[in-house]
Each structure stands twice: as structure tokens, then as C-alpha cells.
Structure 1
Amino acid sequence: MSLLDGRSSVLFVHAHPDDETISTGALIAEFVARGSTVTLLTCSRGERGEVVAGPLTALAGTAELAAERERELARATGILGISDRFWLGEAPARAHGLAARRYRDSGMVWIRPGLAGPAADAAEDALSVAPLAEVADDIAALITALQPALVISYDDGGGYGHPDHVRAHVATLAACAATGTPFAEVLEAPAADAEWFELPQHLTVVTDALRAHASQLTVHGAFIVHSGGQREAIGTSVGLRPHPFDDAPA
């Protein structure tokens, strides 16, 4: 049976606003089209991300940037058909008995084109340096509340190496192992142990959702132009690999 079949509810876990659309927008739209209830957990507000040159440039490095990216995420998730969305560290995505907290964007540096690594100046409250057990417990709290049939997040490389993506993978895997919930990781290329989906029918909705993230990217035809000038084709093809729990962190 396909990982897409018979999933009454699916939870996506992503590190920052726009990740849900760039890497899994077509997959989200496909689950919605099949009648699944899709929810989204976003781990940080992307506070340290660059801003596209233009009307929003002045938001870079300010507190207002986080608020703008919250609004952009709300617009994008509405377009994709996501039923509900949550912030990591805020109930119900917070372990019982703990006060609410905000996980900050850790930042990153480019090691080489297409591969990111940790920034040297991640704040103490950044996602990538927060205690892994705390992050995993917060994700597990949301899984327990929602009881999704499937949880989807990054692979162990975080897609392109961003430390927040890697932390989201590790913590989500641990949370799924603790709750006994099926977990699948997103792949950008076909693999022998994964399913590959071509979903061109969702190009329009993905493109519209991408346009909602106006502080982070610009849509030019069939391409995304990121704030740093990088260009990539709008993706409607994606892989999913079910992940066993035998190598999940304790």
C-alpha cells in the first residue's frame, strides 16, 4: 500500500515558514485532495532568514520580521488547505507542566552551494542548541493530542543541511518512536527504499502558496528566486521513505 493511501490525518513538521511549501507543498495538496486532515507544526519563525529586496527589506533583523512571517505562513497554509497549524513550544506542542517557550531560528552558513551548516552565533534559545529531549517531548505532546496516522519531516540531512532541519528530523523521529506513530522522511531524489510521487496537478496551488512567502522568495514563472538570489524550479515531485525506529535517539 502507498504511504498516501488511507491516511485519515497527517502531521507535517517543518523548521521555518516557507519550508512547508517549498519542500512539501505538492504533497500536502495531494493529501488534502485525498481527503486527509493535514496539520502543520512549525518550529521557529525564521527570524534569522534573509529578506527579499523590496518593500519588506527593512524588516531584516527586526522583531517585526517574525510577525510578518507568521502572517505569510497563515496565508500559505490556507492556500494549501492545511486544517490547523501549531508553533513548537506552545500548547498543545509543549510538554505537560512546562511554561510556553519560543524556539528561535538558529541561522546557518553556506559550506558550499547547496549545503548549509551551523552558524557560529546561534542563540541559547535556538532550536538547534535546545535540549533534544525537550524538543522531542514537545513534538510528542502534539502527536499525542492529534493522534495523526502519519508524521512527515526531513531526512537525516535536513534536506540541505540547515541545523534546524536536522534537529527537526532527529526530534521528530524520537517523538514518533516514543508515541508509536508512523514516520516518513522527505526525499528530494528517488531512492530504492522510498516511494516517488509526480504531482504536477498541484503546481498552481503550490505556486500561489509560494507567493504568500513574499519576504523570503519571489516567484518568476516556474522558478523560485530566494532572498540570496538562488534560483530553483518549483517542485511538484517528492519522495517519501518510511523510517524504522531502531536507530531513533533514546
Structure 2
Amino acid sequence: MTRRLLLVHAHPDDESITTGGTMAAYAASGAEVTLVTCTLGEEGEIIPRGLDQLGSWAADQLGGYRAGELALALRSLGVTFHYFLGGIGRWRDSGMAGTPAAGHPRAFAGGSLAEQAAQLAEIVEQRRPEVIVTYDSSGGYGHPDHIRAHEITMAAARTVASVRRVFHIASGGGAVPTPDGPAGTVIDIRAQLPAKIAALRAHATQITVNPPMFALSNGVPQRIAETERYFLAHGPVAGSETDLFGGLEFD
């Protein structure tokens, strides 16, 4: 039986930065990997100077451009199943709390949680994953869209019987799970680093890549880690600390 993994991310590039190696690893193993992206990332800052007029402050065409970057990244990762929540362009990048973008009528974080959860539940019902991955309740770093992605994922996961586990991405790479903390899984992605690096490079408006480092628009170098870490949020404790599906029985 095919194992099915579904990931919920707020903006294009989030998937490659935090879970790219995991997606590539499971896709390569024959698992069905599905990505749900909640917005087009219209409020992102732009690194290449020649593309700066795509921004929301000018032509407001960044979202469409980033959809193309995301498609290229997913090809690099070997992922073929992808959905934009509610259809492409339905929900817009909310920006950080207190910014004008948060008041946009299509801002994801300001939209109907019930409507969004229903849209996600429809995708989950169609793909029927055993395991879902998304952010924790803080959204990793407090972005309103990440927090909303967490909220709708937890709501939708409860409505579809196929879902056996929900994992949260360990913020900042996370600490190694301890016996007294939440159950965790650490995915070794060394074999998938070329695919992850290619996916990061695909998001050229948002990321500069100089292996083994990458940087966002703030220019601060970050190491491309050799592992990706997750904490169990819902479901039975994994029978393996290196496999999101560990211990699950398949018919």
C-alpha cells in the first residue's frame, strides 16, 4: 500500500526551507507526497533588483511569479501533487500583524477559519494521507499566515479518518527530542541535499543560496541542515524516531 504524506505551508518557499529534504526523501521512496500552499506570498520582499517592481508596492505581480518558482522547486523535489488552498489566488499573503496587508479582503489570516478548514478538509479527503505536517501553534516564528495554517490543519485533520498522525515542524531545526518532551522524529536528508538546494535556488526572489549556507532577504546566513525535525502533535507515538510513518499498520 502506498504511504501518503501531506504538508500544509503558508507561502511558496516555506516548503523548501523547512521540509524540502523530507518531501524529496519520501517522494524518492515511492510515497505519495502532497503539498498544500495557502497563499502566493504576495507580500514577500524581493532580492533581485531587476525584479523589485513585481512587489505589492508596485505592479503587485509577485504572487504569480512565485507560483512559477514553486512549480520549479517541486519538480526538483520530485513532488507531483500540489494544491493552492481554495484555488490559486483565493487567499492572499497577510503580511505581518499590523501591516496594511493584514487588512486586505482576501488576507489569509483574516479569512473565515471555517471556510479555510473546509477547503483543506476537501483536499485531505481526496488525497487521504496517513500523516500530515504543518507548523506548531506559534507558526514557527509568529507569522499570522503560519498560525492560521496550523489552525486549519488541526481542524481539518480531525474530520478525515485516514489521518493517523499530525506532526509539527520543529522551529529553527528544533532540539533532539527528549524522553520528557513531545515525541519527535528526525529525518536524515543528507542524500536529498542536492534536491533541497535546487529547490531553494528555485525561489530566487526570496532566497540566496551558497552551499552549505542560504540567506533570506535580510542577508543573514543560515546553514542548510542535514536533518529536518518534527514533533508529534496528534496520533500514536511513532515506532521509529527516523520515520514519520513508523509503527503504522497498512492494509
Q: Same fold (TM over 0.5)?
A: yes
After the TM superposition, which residues 1-250 of structure 1 pair with which residues of structure 2 at under 5 Å, given as runs?
8-61=3-56, 62-90=59-87, 102-108=90-96, 118-121=97-100, 122=102, 123-180=104-161, 181-182=163-164, 183-187=166-170, 188-189=173-174, 190-192=176-178, 193-244=183-234
Q: Deviations over 1:68-94 (max 9, x none)?
A: 10100000001101021111012xxxx
Give the aligned CA root-mean-square deviation in angstroms: 1.7
Distance in 1 (CA, whole Å) between partners of 2:225 and 2:14 is: 12
Unaligned 5+ segments in structure 1 are 1-5, 91-99, 109-117, 246-250
Q: Counterparts of 2:5 and 2:206 in 1: how far apart (Å)? A: 26
Total equivalences in the alignment: 222
Once the two structures are TM-superposed, the CA of residue 101 in structure 1 deviates from its matched residue by 6.6
The normalised TM-score by structure 2 is: 0.83
Cα shift at 1:198: 2.7
Return the alpha-carbon distance in structure 1 between the equivalents of residues 36 and 29 of structure 2. 20
Residue identity in the other structure for 1:186: I
Deviation at 1:215, TM superposition (A): 0.7
Rounded Cα–Cα distance in structure 2 between residues aligned with 1:186 and 1:79: 21
- 1:24-76 alpha-carbon deviations (Å, 9 max, x no partner): 00111111122101111100000001000332222122332111101000000
Cα drift, residue 7 of structure 1: 6.1
Structure 2 distance, partners of 1:204, 1:153, is 23
Q: Is the 8 A contact 1:23 1:235 kept in 2?
A: no
Gaps of 5+ in 2: 236-251
* Residues 214-245 of structure 1: CA deviation (Å, up to 9, x unaligned): 11111122111212223211233122222227
Tell me, yes or no, if the aligned pair for 2:25 and 2:192 is still in contact at 8 Å: yes
The equivalent residue for 2:238 is: none
Whether the 8 Å contact between 2:39 and 2:89 is mirrored in structure 1 is no
**Helix, strand or coil: the match of 1:63?**
coil
- In percent, how many aligned pairs have the same letter? 36
The 3 A distance-change label for structure 1 pair 58 and 240 is same
Alignment correspondent of 1:96: none
